[in-house]
Amino acid sequence: MNFWELATLPLEYEQKAPIGYLWIVRLFVIFFGKGEMALRLFSLISGIASLFIFMPIARYFLKPWAAVMALGILALSTPAVYHSVEAKQYSSELFASILALLFYTRYSRQISLGPLVKWGILGGGLLLFSYSVIFVLAGIAFAICLNTLLNRNWRKLLLYLIPFSIWLLCFALTYIFFIGKYKDSGWLAFFFEKHHGFMPVPPTSVSEFLWFPRVPYLALQYPLGLLLNFSDVWYYNYSKGETLLRMPLLPILLEIAGLIYLFRKDKLSLAVFIFPIILALTASGLKLYPFLERFTLFTTPLLILIIALGAEQVYTFFAFNAKMAAVLFVLILAPPLWNSARTVANPNLFYKREFNREALLFVNDRFKEGDTVYLYWNTVHIYEYYKEAYHLKFDAIEGKDLKNVSNCKEEYLANLRPGFNGFEGNKRLWLVYDKNVRNNIGDFVGYPKWYHDPKFIPGKMLEDTFSTYGKKTEFSINDKKIAITLFDLYTKSNRTEDL
């Protein structure tokens, strides 16, 4: 898509991203080609820049040693690192959140027309690169307005309305021209409800009441990455009793200490830190914004500053004991440092690591004349990208997603069979499918129920079916992700009879 199409047409697969992010990535594609490095470059720049920009913010609010701790948390956060190498906009949203805080530290005390107009333009410009930054900007605006109202400083309030009005105008334009054009996706709302992404209002069951204590705990994992991880599964597991073993108590206590300190000594900063989170939670309760995983990445600098302030108060409580500062420093950073070290030692443990490129290049390197490749529907989108970006030499048969027009697995297989006619006349058949992906874009999670029966494995069904055509050889790029199976097909006469 060209720049105009990116600004005016919906993206494929119902994806959504700010126009500034899309245009910069498109520019990098023009300069550097369609490879993954070009697509991930802006995310990487945003992630690295976040570290440099966060440092003066940390120094503004924290003592030097606590500022280094805060920077260490951001640098080692697994989610922040992951999104810094992902071809999506979340790293730039984190960067925008940090920039919004930087502008606050620079301009909030300059009560004159020029700096306030500049603040308004810079803050409004962030909306081109991040939708979630509106929570940070609105939180800052509400915090300052409330503080100014309580102090009855009407002149200041009127002057502050200059940047805040610019932000509101920029958001309105962004909504009219971009956000408002996105149609409401019922399946997406259902997905986030299924995964507890919306705050239950009001809570009506025990599980819904547990949503409220669970969210602060999960925030230590995502977006902060402060929980210790020993397994090859990045997420926590309540059933195995891993909650306390992951060392959540210290960061929780420091977070509480930081909030208490801010409430007693610096209510304006408290409001600046928590109002954006409150606004996001409110939007979540209204089912307008999921408070879940990547959508909470923008809260990272706010939560880090609260925790680091709590560490300062513990340090002060112990009469400025340098050893206590060192202990806090080590205990807070040890889990994310351990997680990072494990990932460096074994990159396969990297959060959400996929093996799509490796799988298709594996087939591409071994593809011979007389071969054909059948892609299950959940790998077609992968192939369509790599075919163009890496000039794959094979033209695959793209399986169709027919589960929603089938009533059972037998009917599903019957509906798929016409797509197998492309095997005719070939010597070998490659089957490629993703073991994990069961829902297509637009699917309601868990439907149709027969397809989501744990005992039904679509890939194995195809393997068993294709085994009747010839001897199979299984390959493994990663046991948990992409499955590749090669079938040496029978003679043409026998194969035609089988088909």
pLDDT average per 10 residues of sequence, the chain (499 residues): 93 90 97 95 98 98 96 96 95 98 96 95 97 97 96 93 97 90 72 86 91 92 90 52 76 96 96 98 94 95 98 87 86 94 90 89 94 94 94 94 93 92 88 89 87 90 88 79 88 43
Residue 121 exposure: Cα atoms within 13 Å on the Cβ side: 6
CA-CA distance, 46 to 90, in Å (whole number)?
A: 9
Two tokens, residue 64:
């030097």
CATH number of 356-498: 3.40.50
pTM: 0.92
Q: Residue 274 carries which DSSP code? A: H
Which residues neighbour 20 within 8 Å (Cβ) at sequence distance 6 or greater? Answer: 92, 128, 129
Residue 433 sits at φ, ψ, to 5 deg, of -150, 155
Burial grade of 202 (CB within 10 A; 0-12, 13-18, 19 or more): exposed
Q: What is the pLDDT of residue 494?
A: 44
CA-CA distance, 271 to 248, in Å (whole number)?
A: 25
Sequential DSSP letters for 209-242: HHHHHHHHHHHHHTTS--S---SSS-S--GGGT-
Q: Which helix (H) or strand (E) holds 471?
A: strand 470-476
Which residues neighbour 287 within 8 Å (Cβ) at sequence distance 6 or greater? Answer: 189, 192, 193, 198
Which three-class secondary structure state does DSSP give residue 268? helix
Q: Residue 184 carries which DSSP code? A: P
Residue 295 exposure: Cα atoms within 13 Å on the Cβ side: 17
Cα-Cα end-to-end distance for the chain: 40
CA-CA distance, 50 to 84, in Å (whole number)?
A: 10
Which residues neighbour 134 within 8 Å (Cβ) at sequence distance 6 or greater? Answer: 127, 167, 171
Q: What is the pLDDT of residue 472?
A: 86
Domain ranges, ordered by start, for the chain: 3-349, 356-498
| SS percent in the chain: helix, strand, coil, step 5 | 65, 5, 30
Confirm if 475 and 428 have CB atoms less than 8 A apart.
no
CA-CA distance, 245 to 229, in Å (whole number)?
A: 9
